[in-house]
Structure 1
Amino acid sequence: MLKNFFFTLIIVSLFFAGLEFILALIGVKPILQTEDPLVGFSKNIPLFEETRNSDGSVILESAPNKRAIFNYQAFPMEKASNAYRIFCMGGSTTYGRPYRDKVSFTGWLRAFLKNADQKRKWEVINAGGISYASYRVARLMKEIKQYKPDLFIVYTGQNEFLEERSYGDMLDIPSWVLEFNDILSNTRTYAAVKKGIDALRQDTPEKTKKRYQLSGEVDEILSHTAGPTSYHRDEKLKSQIISHYSLNMQLMINIAKEAGAKIIFVNPAINLKDMSPFKSEHKELLSKKELKKWQELYNRASILHKVGGNIEDALVDYKLALSIDESYAELHYRVGQVLFELKKYDEAQKAFQRASDEDIAPLRILSSMQKAVEDVASENDVPLIDFSRILREAYSREYNHAVFGKEYFVDHVHTNLDGYRLLGLTLFDELIRQGIAKPDETWNEERIKAVEKELTASLDAKALADVMVNLSKVLIWAGKFDEGRNAREQAIAMNALIPKEPGMNVEIGIILMKKGKTDEALNHFKEELKISKDNRIIEKTHLYIAYVYYNDNQFDEAEKHLRIVLKNNSSLYTAHAHLGTVLEKQGRIKEAHSHYTAALRINPDYELAKKSIETMAKKEEALDKKIKRFRGIH
C-alpha cells in the first residue's frame, strides 16, 4: 500500500513538473510574476512620460498629473553604457516626507555615490509616492521594469491600512487556504488553469464588484473623515492585509528578477515613544461592570501620572486596568510613558510597541509586518537593511536609551534630516559591500563629512521651518495636539519662521507661553491682531492676551481686551466669566457677579462661573458673620 502511494506521488509530481516545463516553453508565467491576485486597478496612470529635449534626445520625466504625490524626476530614455540606474520605491518615507527628494534617503544616497565613485554615471531615481502601499509599489515596479533598472531599493509598509479595500468572499476563506493559494500562484499550471476559468466565466455586475478594484490613484480613508474616526477593529481584515503585504513583497522580487535587476529591502522603523496611538478601542464583550472598573483605574492612574507626578502608583493602576482589558492601545502607551520615566527602557520599548500594534488605525508598520519583511528577504536571499538596527546604534552613541522618538522622528513614521542621512549612508555602504559602488582612493570620513556639509548648506532654513509648520497642521488635524505643537516648537527652534498665516501666531504664542516666554508670546499675539481678519481667531487672540495680562497682575489691560471680545460677541460665556474674574480681583464685586451670572445664563453648566459665584457667596457670608461678631463685641 505504502509502495503504491509513493509510486503514485512520483508519477503525479513528474506529470506536473513536465507540465510546468511545457508551459514555460510556451511563455506562460506564474501569476505572481505578472499580477497581484488579490486586487486590481480601475485604470493605469503612468508615472513617467517621454519628453524630447532641444537637442533631440528623449528623456523620461515625472508626468505632470503625478507631481502632487511624487518628486519631479527625469532621466535619459537611452541608458548610457557606464550608467547604473537605481529606482528607490515606496511611500512617503522614500519620497522624503515631510521634506523633498533632496534630503530623502534617495537624495543622500545619490550625493554619496556621485562624489565617491565618479567613474560611473549614477542615476538614482526617487519613485516614492505619498500614501503608496505595497500593492501600488509593486504595480509601479511593473511600469519601471521597462526602463532598464539595475537595482530596486524598496522601503514600504507604512500605508497598508491607509486605503479602504475589501477582499470580498476571501474574508471567509481559512488562512491556510490563502497560504496554499500563495504557493500555487508561483506555478505556471495554476496561472494557465486560472486564465481558462476566467475566460469561461461570465460574471454578473454584482460578482464583478466583489473582486474589489482600487482607483487608479490613492484614495485615503483619512481624506473622507475628521481624523481616523472611521477605523474600527477588524482582526480578520487585518490578517488578510498582512498576508497581502507579504505577497506583494514576493511579487516585487519576481518583478526585479524579470527585469534583470537586483533588489534591496529596507525594513521600516517607526516613532514609538513620542507618537500616541491614532485610535483605541476596547475589546469586544467587555461587560459594563468591567468597563466601569477599567475606566476608574485608567482615570485615577492618569491623574497620578499627569497631575500628581506619582508615577509608581500610576503604574500599579495602569497594570490593573491592563488585567481587565489589554486591547486598548492608549493604555499600553501610557504604561510605556511611565516605564520610560522610571528609566526602565526595555520594558518601555515593549509597551510602546504593543501600543502601536493595538492601534485601531495602524498608520505605522506592525511588528508582524516587520517580521514578514525579514522572512521574505531570508527565503529569497535578498539583502535586507534593518533601519531599526541602524537607529538603535545611533541612539546608543548619543542617548542613554534606544526607544525611538522625537530624537530622530518628526512624526509617526518620517525621520528628521539625520535619520534620512543615516539610511542613505547605510545604503551607500551596502552598495560598496556588494561591489556595485567602488569609491576612489581619496574617499574617507573627511570627504563624507564634506558631502554632508555641502548638502545641508544648500537647504533653505525657512523652507524647512515651513515644512514643520505644515506637518503640525496635519498632526493637529489627526487629533495629535501634543505632537502637532512639538512640530511647531521645532519650527520655532529653527529661527527661520516668519508667520503670516492667520492663526499661526496664536499657536506659536501658546507654545511660548507654556515655556514661560510670556513677552515673546505677547508679541506674537499682538502680531496676529495686525494680520487676522477672522473673527474667531481675533476673539481667541484677545482672550490669550487677557490671560497673559491677568497672570502679570495687569488687570486693567486684561479687562480692556475682554471687553473688546464682548463688544463683538456678547454671547461668549467664557469671556464673561474671565472678565468676572478680572473684576473680582479689582474688588468690583457687583460687576463681577453680573458677568458670572451672564455666563451662566448662556451656559448654565459652565463650572468656572458656578464655582466663582459659590465662592463669592461664601466670602460674603463669612464677611457678614465677621461684621455681626464685630458689632456684638462693640
Structure 2
Amino acid sequence: MVGYGQDYQLFHKVNTDKKPDYLEMNINIAGKYFKNNGLNSDNQSDLFLKTKTDSTFRVFVQGASTVVGFPFYRGGSFPRMLKHRLSLTFPEKNIEVINTGITAVNSYTLWDLTDEIIDQKPDLVIIYAGHNEYYGALGVGSSISYGNHPAFIRTYLSLKTVRFFQLLENGYYKLFSSGDKKPSTQETTLMEVMTREQRIPYDSQVYHDGLAQYESNLDKILKKYKKHDIPVILSTLVSNEKDIKPFISDSIPNKTQFLQALEEGKPEIGNVAQHNAMAAYSLGRYYLEKNQDSAKKYLHLAKELDFLRFRAPEKINEIIGSLAKKYDSPIIDMKNVFLAHSPQNVIGDELMTEHVHPNVKGQFLMADAFYHKIKALNFLNNWDNYIGFDEAFRNIPITKIDSLKGKLVIEDLKKSWPYDLRMSGTRPMATYIANPTYEETKAQNIYKKIEPWDQVMAESYRRYENDKDYNKALRVAESLIFEYPEQGEVYRMAGNMCLNMTNLEKAAYYFSKCNQLEKSSLSARQLASVYLKLNKIDLARKTLKEAKNRGFNDEALNKMVEDVN
C-alpha cells in the first residue's frame, strides 16, 4: 500500500531552506472530511516551530469558518488579531497562535484533530464551534453523513488514516455511488452543497440528534485535553438575530389578519409567533423601536424556530456552559460581549456580515475577549506592555483590500441560496463595482482570481510607500508577517514604516524580530540605529557586538561600532 491514498497528517514540515524547521497545517486535510465533493480547505497557513522553545507561548484555535476568518481571512480573523496583540504585548516571547479552523466542519473534525494538536504541546487551546453541527461534514443533517451514531463516525474517522481502508472506501464509491449528479460549489453555494435536511423542526428527533452529537464530541475533546493538563478556553456562540430573517419557515397562517393584528398591537399575535419562525421575526422587528426586551425575545425565538439550522440553537450554548463546568474550563460569554456593543440589545448587522460570521469589528471583539481572558487567567506574566481596547482597535492588522474583498464575498452570498431560495442550484453574477478605486480594483482582482494575493500586497506596499501612506503600508507588511513569519524582510518592511511614522518603540520591535531571523550586518545596524534614537545605548552596543562576533566586518558596521564606542 506504499504510495496509495492521501496523507491526512494534520501538520507538515514547511519546505524551506531556512532554519529552524517550521510546521504548518496540511492544506489537503479537508479531503478527509469531504469525500468526493471536490471541496478544498481554505484554512489559514500559520507557521510554527517544529521544536518548541522555552520562550514560546503556543496557542491552537479550533473551529470552522468563523475561526478561519470568513469572509476576510488573514488579518481579519480573530486568531491573527490575538496573535498580533499578544506579540506586541510580549516582544521577548515567540507568540504562536495556530489556526486549525476548516470551513464547513463540525465537532467530529475538532475531535479528530485533537490528538495531533496535543502532540504539539500547546500552552492553551481555544474552541469556538457549533454553528455547523447539523450541516457540517458528517453532521446529522449534512449531505456528507453516515447516520447519527457518534461512536461509529469517530471510528470511521480513525480508520481514514489507514491506506488500505482508503483503498476499500474508494472501491466502494466506484461500485455503489449513485450516478446522479450532485451539486458542486462551482454551481451553487457551499451552504446548499452541504445541506441534506433543509427542514429540521425545533424539538424534532434530528434536532436532538445534532445536540447529542455535539455534546458527545465536545465531551471527549475536553476529556483528552484535561488528561494532558492542557487548558482550554471555551466560548458561547453568536449569531445575527436582528437582521437575518428565518431562512425557511412555514407560511404565517391567515397572514393578512396577522399583519393587521400586528399593526394594531393585539396581544394574540404572540400565540402565533410561538410556533412560526416568520411570525416571531415579524413580531420582533415590530417591537424593535417600541420594547427592546420583547424585540430580543421574539427575534431570538425566530432563530430558534428556523427550520434551516445554519445558526446554532441556544441549546448548543447551554451544552458549552455545562461541559465548561464539568471540566473546569474557563468560558467566555461571547454573546454578552456582542450584546454590550449592540445598540438595540440584539445582535445584528452592526457586528455581523450575515447570519453567523462577524464583521471586522466583531472579529476584533472576539480577539479582545480572548486577550483579556488570557490576562485574567495569568497564562502569561508581566503585562507591562498591555495594549488597551482603543489602541488595539485602531491597529487591527487587516488591509483595506482584504476588507473590501470580504464585502464582495458577502454581497454575492446574500444574492444566493439560502438568502434567496429561488437561487437553488445556481450562482448569481459576481458583483461588479463601477468606477472602482485602486483598492476596490485590487479586491475584485483577488476575489475573481485575476491576481494572486501576494502580488497585490507587494504592489500595494510599494504604492502606499511612494504615496507616503505609511499606515496602510504598515498594514500590508503586518499581513505579510502572518504569511511569512520566518522571513526577516517582512519585519524590515514593517519596521521601516514605523520609522517613517516616528513610532520608534514599534520600529525596534520589528527590527529586533528581523535581526533574530536574518542575523545580518544590515539587520543589526538597523536595530542598533533605532536603539540609538531611543537613547538605549547599551542595547545598541550589544546588538553591534553580536554582529561583529558573527564575523561581519563591513565598513558600515565598523563605523557604527566606532561611533557608539
2:114 aligns with 141
Query: Alpha carbon RMSD of aligned pairs, Å?
Result: 4.1
- C-alpha distance in 2, partners of 1:472/1:56? 43
In structure 1, what residue type is equivalent to 2:285?
Answer: Q
Residue 380 of structure 1 pairs with residue 337 of structure 2: no
Aligned to 2:22: 59
Question: What's 2:76 paired with?
Answer: 103
Which residue of 12, 37, 41 corresponds with 1:49?
Answer: 12
User: What is residue 472 of structure 1 aligned with on the other side?
Assistant: 411
Alpha-carbon distance between aligned partners in 1 of 2:435 and 2:407, rounded to the nearest angstrom:
9
Cα deviations by residue, 1:152-197 (Å, 9 ceiling, x for unpaired) = 10000110011465599987x9xxxx9xx99xxxxxxxx9xxxxxx
Find out whether 1:115 has 2:88 as its counterpart.
yes
- Aligned to 1:79, which of 35, 44, 52? 52
How many Å separate the matches in 1 of 2:126 and 2:359?
A: 20
Aligned to 1:295: 253
Deviation string for 1:574-602 (max 9, x for gaps)?
xxxxxxxxxxxxxxxxxxxxxxxxxxxxx
Query: SS of the residue aligned with 1:337?
Result: helix
1:132 equivalent in structure 2: 105
Q: Distance in 1 between matches of 2:307 and 2:331?
A: 28
Distance 1:83 1:501 in 2: 38
Change (3 A) 1:277 1:78: same
Q: Does the 8 Å CA contact 1:462/1:497 hold for their aligned counterparts?
A: yes
Give the 3 Å change call, closer, same or farther, for CA 365–169 of structure 1 in structure 2: closer
Which amino acid in 1 is paired with 2:404?
Answer: A
Pick aligned residue for 1:276 from 240, 245, 257: 245
Q: Distance in 2 between matches of 1:422 and 1:414?
A: 13
Give the Cα separation in 2 of the matches to 1:222 and 1:239.
26
Contact 1:272-1:404 within 8 A present in 2 as well? yes
Residues 480 and 328 (structure 1), Cα distance of their counterparts in 2 relative to 1, 3 Å cut: same
- 2:365 is matched with which residue? 422
| Residues 227 and 477 in structure 1, CA contact (< 8 A), matched pair in contact too | no
Distance 2:304 2:436 in 1: 32
**CA 1:79–1:368: 2 relative to 1, 3 Å:** same
1:244 paired with 2:201, answer: no
Relative distance call for 1:135 and 1:43 in structure 2 (3 A) is farther
- Partner residue of 2:296 out of 344, 349, 359: 349
CA distance in 2, matches of 1:225, 1:439: 48
Deviation of the 1:130 alpha carbon: 1.0
Partner SS for 2:100 = strand
Contact 2:76 2:403 in 1 (8 A): no
**2-structure distance, mates of 1:312, 1:393:** 30
For 1:336 and 1:95, how far apart are their aligned partners in 2? 31
Cα displacement (A) at 1:114: 0.8
**Per-residue deviation at 1:370?**
0.8
Match of 1:161 among 134, 149, 155: 134
C-alpha change, 1:481 and 1:363, in structure 2 (3 Å) is: same
Per-residue CA deviation, residues 339-359 of structure 1 (Å, 9 max, x unaligned), is 1132x1111111111111111
The structure 1 residue matched to 2:314, chosen from 364, 367, 376, is: 367
2:211 counterpart SS class:
helix
TM-score normalised per structure 1: 0.55
* CA–CA separation in structure 2 for the residues paired with 1:442 and 1:52: 35
What are the superposed Cα offsets for residues 217-244 of structure 1, whole Å, 9 maximum, x if unpaired? xx99964848968512351111011011
- Single out whichever of 257-266 and 69-78 deviates more from structure 2: 257-266
Cα 1:225–1:61 shift into 2, 3 Å: closer
- 1:495 CA drift (Å): 10
| Aligned mates of 1:226, 1:320 — CA distance in 2 | 39
Question: What residue is the counterpart of 1:434 in the other structure?
Answer: 377
SS of residue matched to 1:49: strand
Residue aligning to 2:498? none
Structure showing the higher helix proportion among its residues: 1
The superposition leaves residues 513-545 of structure 1 with CA deviations (integer Å, 9 ceiling, x where unpaired) of xxxxxxxxxxxxxxxxxxxxxxxxxxxxxxxxx
* Cα distance in structure 2, aligned partners of 1:467 and 1:492: 19
Helix, strand or coil at the partner of 1:264: strand
Closer/same/farther in 2, CA of residues 442 and 350 from structure 1, 3 Å limit:
same
Could you say what secondary structure the match of 2:71 adopts?
Answer: coil
1:209-608 matches, cutoff 5 A: 223=190, 225=192, 230-233=197-200, 235-281=204-250, 295-296=253-254, 298-302=255-259, 312-313=263-264, 315-316=265-266, 320=268, 323=271, 326-342=274-290, 344-395=291-342, 399=343, 401-443=344-386, 445=388, 449-456=390-397, 459-480=398-419, 497-498=440-441
The question of whether the paired residues in 1 share the 8 Å contact of 2:192 and 2:418 is answered with no
Counting matched residue pairs gives 391
SS in structure 1 at match of 2:95: strand
CA distance 1:493–1:429, shift in 2 (3 Å):
farther
**Which residue in the other structure is 1:569 paired with?**
none
Q: Give % identity.
A: 19
For 1:387, give the aligned amino acid.
Answer: M
Q: Are the aligned partners of 2:245 and 2:281 in contact in 1 as well (CA < 8 Å)?
A: yes
Ranges in structure 2 where 5+ consecutive residues have no aligned partner? 30-39, 156-168, 174-183, 448-565
Contact 2:236 2:320 in 1 (8 A): yes
2:253 counterpart SS class = helix
Q: In the aligned structure 1, how far is the partner of 2:393 from the partner of 2:444?
A: 33
- Contact 1:94–1:105 at 8 Å: present in 2 too? yes
1:73-128 CA-to-partner distances (Å, cap 9, x unmatched) read: 11111101121110011111111111113121111211121111223221111111
Q: In structure 2, give the amino acid aligned to 1:371.
A: E
TM-fit CA distance, 1:474? 1.5
Preserved CA contact (<8 Å) 2:125 2:231: yes
Closer/same/farther in 2, CA of residues 224 and 497 from structure 1, 3 Å limit: closer
